[in-house]
Structure 1
Amino acid sequence: MSQADIGLLQQALGLLRAGQPAQAGGTLARLSAAGQQHPDALYLAALAGDGLGRVGDAEQLFRAAIDRAPGNAGYRNSYALFLSRLGRGAEAVAALEAAVAAAPDHAEAWLNLALLRQERGDLDGAAPALGRAAALTPEAPRVLAATGALAQARGDAPAARAALTRAVERDPADLGARARLAKALGQQGDVAAALAALGAAEDPQLATIRADLLADAGQMDEAVAAYRAVATRWPGHAEALTSLAFLLPQLGQPEAALDGFRDALAGDAATPGLWQAALAAARGSGDGATLLDWAAAAERRFGLAPEWRLARLTGLRLLCRFAEALDEVRTEQARFPAEPGLANHRAWLALRQGELDEAEAAALTASRMIPLEQTAWSLLSVIWRLKQDPREAWLIDYDRLVRTADLVVPDGWSSRAAFLGDLRRVLEARHVTRNAPSEQTLRGGTQTRGELFATTDPVLIAFRDALRRTVEQSLAGLAPQTGHPFLGRLTGRVRLVGSWSVRLQGQGFHVSHIHPQGWLSSAFYVALPPEVGSGGEAGALTFGTPDASLGLDLEPRRVVIPQAGRLAIFPSYAWHGTVPFHSESPRLTAAFDALPV
């Protein structure tokens, strides 16, 4: 490469670092014909194309650079990050695995491999990659922060606290590490230390975490004021507005839930991401009219896109305009055939309107497009039941796949009853709101905030470990079955990915629902009123009766009578709800979703 070309490459690199991709691309165009084919030139051109949003061109240039210099781990590392931003996580992981194979001492590639594996839920795969990064750069702030994040994901709050404290000490300006440290401290119950770790919170993310901590501590007035302060100072910060929208109904203020979003959307700085968050909040609030208004406004502002049409369809469903919605989804699916959400909407709407063949075809399409998402399978369980298709029994054998077991007695307790007494006291202290979350399925009760098992509380840690052991022992009675959406993923080991507690008052119940992002779901009975489980089905867990808004009068396929200390597990696509009960005493449960490891 000539000296002139080398100078142009250096100039282009400087422009890219200064955030000027267009100028960098212009500089690269002045290279000689031979210089433009040099791998460094192709790589910088890929970065410029990415910066300009020319995704297709950027990908071709990344690949060309890698083809000419397959041993360059830096190219592969950047290509992986590019793929990750496009949502192509599996390809990104493969690119990073190739990078570390080409250059085993490339610490950044090891670190990014760990981060991507963790993002995809592969905690066991993330650990050795992070170990290699730590061995190469043991005190690098990003490595320390990633070590803390991985410990946090595994529920090891003390290890997270230690690593994140070191990360913040090494780089006080790392807001992500500071945020994670505050969360780790909050999980340990040290709210004062968590708030201190946030400092002055001169950043919307940190200020939102401050509000979260106040809410978790039960300081609701202070939390609401803190969320509103974030919304006033940083009106486009969707996270604070979302938290406020979901908190206010639990405090008895549902009419104010969407006010923050209304104010923010009226401003000129509202981004597509803010509009999407607003639509999600309106959907969670069950406000179909607002969904229609906001979806139309977003489309006028940003142009036609699947997310706006999906929001409109949800609004029509909430307003019970089913025939209109079915006509529209047929048109939209032809316009956006690669959008799985439209296939799920069409399946639901066709089922609601009695078009079983159309519903089945749409649900099967969705199940092929997103086989791990549970909505299509849940609809197929109903469609095949109505069609008396034997595939219903293949999909959801209620006698075999709905499983119950008594909790393994945790280490350190003399009996299950003794443990349940301690667990009840811990859980009741975590119910700090007055009403049910509007976006959840319970009616007449409360739900704990955040992840129940993101804690250092010894009772909850023992509970988590006992649940995992109980689940794995129960699943040992099932055999893997290729092609089955539940049994086909059976490995014998699980990890808990969501956890919460529900306290239902008299007349309380759960509407029938599924868990779209799960694989295995559950209900564990901590404490029951005397009226529940003493004969009859009051408070019972029912399976096979779908969402009432589908307008189908179907009896349960199975009923599980609650018993304190007993765990029920089932596929996340199984429709389940509870029967209301009459009592002066509450019904206390815990639940989680799990994925195979």
Structure 2
Amino acid sequence: MRANDPATLFARAEQAFLAGRLEAARGDLLAALRLAGEHPAILHLLALLEKRAGQSEAARKAFARALRQAPDDPQIRTNHANLLLSLGDEEAALKELDRAIDARPGFRDAHVNRAVIRHRSGNATGAWRDIEAFAAAPGADARILTLAGQIRRDLGEFDAAATCFDRALALDPARATALAGRARVALERGDDDAEARHATARRAAPENIALRLGEALAAEAGGNAERGIALLREALHDAPLDTELHVELVRMASEAGYPHELDSIAAAAARPEASLPLHQAYVTALAQAERPQDVIEHVDRLAPAMRADALLSAQQLAAFDTLDMREHAAPLAERLANGPATVFVARHALRFGDPQRAASLLEARCLAGTGSVADWAHLGIAWRLLGDYRAAWLFDQPGLYRWTDLELSAEDLVGLAALLRGLHRTRAHPVDQSLRGGTQTRGSLFARREPALRALAAMLDTAIARHMAALPPADPAHPLLARRDAALRISGSWSVRLGASGFHVSHIHPQGLLSSALYIALPERIPADDDRAGWLELGRPPAELELDLPPVATIEPRPGRLALFPSYMFHGTRPFAAGERLTVAFDVALR
């Protein structure tokens, strides 16, 4: 073949491209184009070359030329999508992949790449639709199986995720992402080998901080919080500004009985290079430790650009309110109104006697369909204080909250209580949760493999379906009834064990649609008890708002009783004088 033959030049360019000799490959491709004209295969390789060379605009132009010649070529469109994704244009990348799949519905690369993007953006259901058939195929490779495991884990299908990761590791035992995914599933299911799996995965990816965090969490879950704390401190020695490590150290140390262990995160936040997320985490930790003056002073020390952050400003506003520093709170509240911290401004207005201001701030968001759980919770309080009829629409329609006694025998309850007690391995309540005077399990309770928990989860799925079916008719303006007929799932699950005088402060679950309490074991009543000791209160505002509003409803606790209620309803419990209160709780979210 002649050296100036287009096929020869193209073949030589391919070899040079594969060998990394990009200039030589570019020369041959340009020569081939002069001879062959706008040939799509030549333009496609030129686009890939320019992308590898970091010449994004040249790559974009070459892809456009190639697609003018071959608009239905799924490989060109898929690789063009990869370029768009690398440039941060996720929406355009998805459109290109859609076109590739329209042109050839079974084209695997396009489906897999679309699954990656959907998974990364939080659409695990759509990602699984893309990859399901390819993951089930006998010839599925380790990359596809690993991605399938990651997606199914995010769908809460932990057993299926473990199977996908195991299949990937059977093909490629050293695949770091599969080792990490399998270790994470072991932690979430409460498997005995979770810590060992994290150690193995960490050897395959020693720089992966998430694996070091996972190993610490696995040690804690196995009952060795001291080792977990040591592993976190060791990891922080190598990554002293890692926000997640600091957050977990504060939490783990607190639950192990070392309250408000903030020295490490305080030192990190004092460093000039500390990130905004690290400052946010430190200020949140100070607030949880009930140190409002320190919150104010730390935010004041920050550079103006960082001090203007909505979350930091909101925490400072809450601290001003706690200390009754109205002269400082008022101008800050005015600045934060109608932004991402609006709900904090509404809380400020409620605390200082202006429910009309709180309602006006929150109604625009909620009635436009963009209100969060927290927005609706505080708007409901404002409406109750104002005597607005919409408070009844939000809280009092029949069936929005109810209790039911599950078909759990005394033997079932005794067995569940024994199982749950064995999972309570910490010494103190979490600093970031609502309980006081007790402990809370870590991880997702219903991800575990104990048959009793699996059976309970199935029973609860049925109870949730019955609850939703019995709700009033769908109402597109209502935060719960708008989703009356949606597909739902249990999105988080845990157990709480309260001791003498233990209780829950009034709180909401901002990620839920429905929230719950299932009573497993309760203390015996004694005559001197408050006649409503331990009762669940729905709708009572949190104490820090200093509002004299009674609960909307109360529910008497009994072993085997399940209470379901909208997540936007503040809820808490009255303390028991003595004894143990053991519950299971979970949130319900959109599938």
Q: Indicate if the aligned counterparts of 1:347 and 1:358 stay in contact, CA closer than 8 A.
A: yes
Q: Aligned residue for 2:218? A: 213
Q: Aligned residue for 1:412? A: none
Equivalent position amino acid for 2:499 in 1: Q
Q: Indicate if the aligned counterparts of 1:356 and 1:383 stay in contact, CA closer than 8 A.
A: yes
Residues 505-533 of structure 1, C-alpha deviations (whole Å, 9 max, x = no match): 11111111111111111111111111299
Q: Indicate if the aligned counterparts of 1:292 and 1:311 stay in contact, CA closer than 8 A.
A: no
Does 1:101 find its partner at 2:106?
no
Q: Indicate if the aligned counterparts of 1:198 and 1:210 stay in contact, CA closer than 8 A.
A: no
The 1:311–1:273 alpha-carbon spacing in structure 2 relative to 1, beyond 3 Å, is: closer
Alignment partner for residue 481 of structure 1, among 475, 482, 491?
475
Q: Aligned residue for 1:469? A: 462
Q: Distance in 1 between matches of 2:486 and 2:281?
A: 37
Map 1:435-514 to 2 at 5 A.
435-478=428-471, 479-491=473-485, 493-514=487-508
The 1:456–1:117 alpha-carbon spacing in structure 2 relative to 1, beyond 3 Å, is: farther
Please identify, of 282-291 and 471-480, the stretch whose mean Cα deviation from structure 2 is larger: 282-291
Q: Aligned residue for 2:231? A: 226
The 1:124–1:304 alpha-carbon spacing in structure 2 relative to 1, beyond 3 Å, is: closer
Q: Aligned-pair distance for 1:165?
A: 2.6
Q: Distance in 2 between matches of 1:87 and 1:398?
A: 46
Q: Aligned residue for 2:372? A: 373
Task: Provide the alpha-carbon RMSD of the alignment.
Answer: 4.4
Please identify, of 489-498 and 269-278, the stretch whose mean Cα deviation from structure 2 is larger: 269-278
Map 1:33-72 to 2 at 5 A.
71=72
Q: Secondary structure at the match of 1:556?
A: coil
Q: Aligned residue for 2:168? A: 167
Q: Distance in 1 between matches of 2:418 and 2:551?
A: 33
Q: Aligned-pair distance for 1:263?
A: 3.1
Q: Indicate if the aligned counterparts of 1:71 and 1:102 stay in contact, CA closer than 8 A.
A: yes
Q: Secondary structure at the match of 1:508?
A: strand
Answer with 1 or 2: which has the greater Rg. Answer: 2
Equivalent position amino acid for 2:354 in 1: E
Does 1:324 find its partner at 2:319?
no
Equivalent position amino acid for 1:593 in 2: D
Map 1:131-280 to 2 at 5 A.
131-134=132-135, 138-171=139-172, 174-186=175-187, 187-191=189-193, 193-195=196-198, 197-198=200-201, 200=203, 202-203=206-207, 204-256=209-261, 258-267=262-271, 270-280=274-284
Q: Indicate if the aligned counterparts of 1:283 and 1:315 stay in contact, CA closer than 8 A.
A: no
Q: Aligned residue for 1:28? A: none
Q: Indicate if the aligned counterparts of 1:532 and 1:539 stay in contact, CA closer than 8 A.
A: no
Q: Aligned-pair distance for 1:452?
A: 1.1
Equivalent position amino acid for 2:185 in 1: A
Q: Distance in 1 between matches of 2:551 and 2:65?
A: 59
Q: Distance in 2 between matches of 1:368 and 1:47?
A: 46
Q: Indicate if the aligned counterparts of 1:123 and 1:150 stay in contact, CA closer than 8 A.
A: yes
Identity of aligned pairs, percent? Answer: 32
Residues 163-212 of structure 1, C-alpha deviations (whole Å, 9 max, x = no match): 21332454456433222211223325222643453353623222211111
Please identify, of 172-181 and 69-78, the stretch whose mean Cα deviation from structure 2 is larger: 69-78
Q: Aligned-pair distance for 1:123?
A: 5.2
Q: Distance in 2 between matches of 1:61 and 1:573?
A: 51
Q: Distance in 2 between matches of 1:107 and 1:433?
A: 47
Q: Distance in 2 between matches of 1:375 and 1:486?
A: 13
Map 1:498-537 to 2 at 5 A.
498-531=492-525, 536-537=531-532
Equivalent position amino acid for 2:412 in 1: F
Equivalent position amino acid for 1:444 in 2: G
The 1:365–1:422 alpha-carbon spacing in structure 2 relative to 1, beyond 3 Å, is: same
Q: Aligned-pair distance for 1:299?
A: 3.8
Aligned length: 561
The 1:494–1:87 alpha-carbon spacing in structure 2 relative to 1, beyond 3 Å, is: farther
Equivalent position amino acid for 1:232 in 2: H
The 1:121–1:499 alpha-carbon spacing in structure 2 relative to 1, beyond 3 Å, is: farther
Equivalent position amino acid for 2:223 in 1: G
**TM-score scaled by structure 2?**
0.81
Please identify, of 77-86 and 244-253, the stretch whose mean Cα deviation from structure 2 is larger: 77-86
Map 1:290-301 to 2 at 5 A.
290-296=294-300, 299-300=303-304
